[in-house]
Chains A and B, each alone.
Chain A
């Protein structure tokens, strides 16, 4: 049965719909900019991770070490670039 029914993918799909709903709620509910932005960022990162692992099969082959190293390396550089830019151009001007 477990071979016929892709439990992981179905649960992943439900969870990703849930994340989308939460993100969408920011638009309809009345909340501060900071709170809204936090919810959007958190759901976005979880969503991205979910897509990579569940639907793009990041951890299912023997080169998963290389894939995760690559993702984390890119993530670190992206975060440093974005926050460094924000710091220099806006927060600390």
Chain B
């Protein structure tokens, strides 16, 4: 029995046993349903082995939505625990595990795949390409991310969740203070997902640099493609740092090295330092594509070209460089001298300049525009004031002397939620509503969508503004309870109410998807928003080859040129189209990675060796495989095009 003891949850409770039962029942239901409806073959042929960027994008979206609810439940539990003083809903250990997983799930397994969804679905369409540069690598990226996320998510029912915060600072996360396998899950699961992200970075830089439609020079790319390019450059430079850091953490925890220990020559603050060398650029990996989506949405619904295109690009390039120069502001209070703190204070505040340029460009795009208030536009309009508020408190935190007052208080928590929720989450929701018709052939209901946007915003303000106040009053973050005499009770109660309203908002999104699937009309054009860029010039639903004839482009608003200035996008005859074949290897290899990760977490070395061999066999199979893809004949293209035009 000793062998099986390691898989037990070290700190069980009724909720965890209930989750175990729920997970077990869901898995059984999914398997039974697939067998009953005979969908295994469909699942394998159409989804598990697909290399189509649109389908991979949709799978990213589904994972992101799933993880949004997992992270959201964590958030509600935290707010409920803190709603009243000396609450006993959660104990200290559970609270630690929940704030840790909330952070990781929301950043790495919700926001990242959401970004990946947009990049996968939109970028090839927007640049007039037929797929990404390396379609099979793209599938591998997705499955590695997915397996990493699943591995992380089983932690709380098998062996225990990580509990050292989403930053997982050593020495706290070292074996001395975190004895359970929870932090091993952190190291290995994020490592696997991170490898996938790094591959995506390389894939999309190549796609954007090499596969643009004829005539689309770099300065004629749509703004979302630019933001995706810059974000991927940051990914390629930042994610290797994370990979090395997690490897060092794994060595410290499982092999007995002393990188981050307090004795034997370790440097106890080195983890925090390297973590933020990756962690700060990561913030910009999330926010830049979000900015790209806002640029698309705002210029579409202001019915104007984007103001200051060149300065938008310039500010993003500057942000990408500056994002590597500011990491130290996450630990101003570590004890280094005033000189170091001053340098990093200045670089931090410098980032506010290009960000401000972008805000003003959006405002000037709106000026004299014929603004249409659709749901995506409403999210964008709510984003500008709320995000600016978060930006301003960011400058406050950037002042190193003042930071001693704010550091690790609820003020900081309020700040980063204030930039991430209106900045990233609103962009994701705006983009979801905006691109939904292109994906599924019907619009999401506008009325429910607007209700959701307002509910989320009201909930957001109620949930996070009180944290600024209680933070300045001294409420520390990650504290699982507080005494009545501390006087934080009222503020935290308001926060809980706000969080509950936000929860209703997120449930409404699901209801909207359900409602629109049943009742919204399928009779929509290829371009229901009257948009300006190439992704709206092809059919809805998008055929697998995207464009029957590759478009020719002469400005950053190719479709607008075609609609208003008589520009001809598609010249010439149909030719046979070369497409990549589906492959099961990415999925199988990622499954092996999952077993590898699980074995590594529990230090089961023999399965680790076997699965490592398995991974290399998969790579060798790929290397020796002769696969030249397939051709779609002109006849097939004609049939597809006629069908889609008739619909």
* A77, A85, A92: most-surrounded residue (chain B CB, <10 A): A77
Contact residues in B for A89 (Cβ distance below 8 Å)? 267, 269-270, 273, 336
B-side contacts of A92, CB under 8 Å: 336-337, 339-340
How near does chain A come to B346, taking the closest CB pair, in angstroms? 13
Q: Does A10 count as interface, using CB distance less than 8 angstroms? A: no
Query: Does residue B511 face the partner (Cβ distance < 8 Å to A)?
Result: no
- Does B69 touch A at the CB level, under 8 Å? no
**B335 within 8 A of partner (CB):** yes
Which residue from chain B places its CB closest to the CB of A74 in the assembled complex?
B237
Q: With A76-B321, A81-B277, A88-B273 in contact, do A93 and B337 touch (Cβ < 8 Å)?
A: yes
Verify if B560 is at the interface (C-beta below 8 Å from A): no
Which residues in chain A, 56-82, are within 8 Å of chain B measured between CB atoms?
66, 73-74, 76-77, 80-81
Q: Is the CB of B337 within 8 A of A81?
A: no
The main secondary structure of chain A at its interface with chain B is helix
Within 8 A of A (CB), among B547-601: none
Chain B residues touching A, range:
20 to 34
CB < 8 Å: which of B209, B233, B324, B335 contacts A93? B335
Complex CA gap A71/B270 in Å reads: 26
| B224 on the A face (CB < 8 A) | no
Report the minimal beta-carbon distance from A79 to chain B, rounded to whole angstroms: 10
List of A residues within 8 angstroms of B328 by Cβ: 84, 88
Give the residue among A74, A88, A89 with the most B Cβ atoms within 10 A.
A88
Judged by a CB distance under 8 angstroms, whether B325 is at the interface is: yes
Q: Report the interface size for chain A: residues with CB under 8 A from the other chain.
A: 14
Interface residues of B in 222-263 (CB under 8 A from A): 233, 237, 241
* Complex Cα gap A80–B336 (Å): 17
When chains A and B are docked, how far (Å) is the Cα of A53 from the Cα of B312?
Answer: 34
Q: Which of B209, B233, B241, B340 contacts A88 (CB 8 A)?
A: B340
Cα distance, A16 to B537, chains bound together (Å): 55
Find residues 10-63 in chain A having any chain B CB closer than 8 Å to their own CB. Answer: none
Q: Is A7 an interface residue (CB 8 A)?
A: no
Would you call B464 an interface residue if the criterion is a C-beta within 8 Å of the partner chain's C-beta atoms?
no
- Shortest CB-to-CB span from B327 to chain A, Å, is 7
- Are A87 and B340 in contact (CB-based, < 8 A)? yes
Q: Which residues of A contact B339 (CB under 8 A)?
A: 87, 92
A80 to B281, CA, bound (A): 14
B336 touches A77 (CB 8 A): no
Bound Cα distance from A77 to B277, whole angstroms: 10
Q: Are A85 and B340 in touch, CB under 8 angstroms?
A: no
A81–B277 Cα distance when bound, in Å, is 7
**Nearest CB on A from B522, distance (A):** 45
B334 within 8 A of A: yes
Bound Cα distance A92, B273 (Å): 14
Given A74-B237, A88-B340, A89-B267, output 16 extra A-B contacts at Cβ < 8 Å: A66-B209, A73-B237, A77-B324, A80-B324, A81-B241, A85-B273, A87-B336, A87-B340, A88-B328, A88-B336, A89-B270, A89-B336, A92-B336, A92-B340, A93-B335, A93-B337
* Sampled A-B contacts (15; CB under 8 Å): A66-B209, A73-B321, A77-B237, A80-B324, A81-B241, A81-B324, A84-B328, A84-B344, A85-B273, A88-B328, A88-B336, A89-B267, A89-B270, A93-B335, A93-B337
A→B interface (CB under 8 Å): 66, 73-74, 76-77, 80-81, 84-85, 87-89, 92-93
- 4 pairs of A and B residues whose beta carbons are closest in the complex: A92-B337, A92-B340, A77-B324, A88-B336
**What residues make up the interface of B, taking CB atoms closer than 8 Å to A?**
209, 233, 237, 241, 267, 269-270, 273-274, 277, 321, 324-325, 327-328, 334-337, 339-340, 343-344
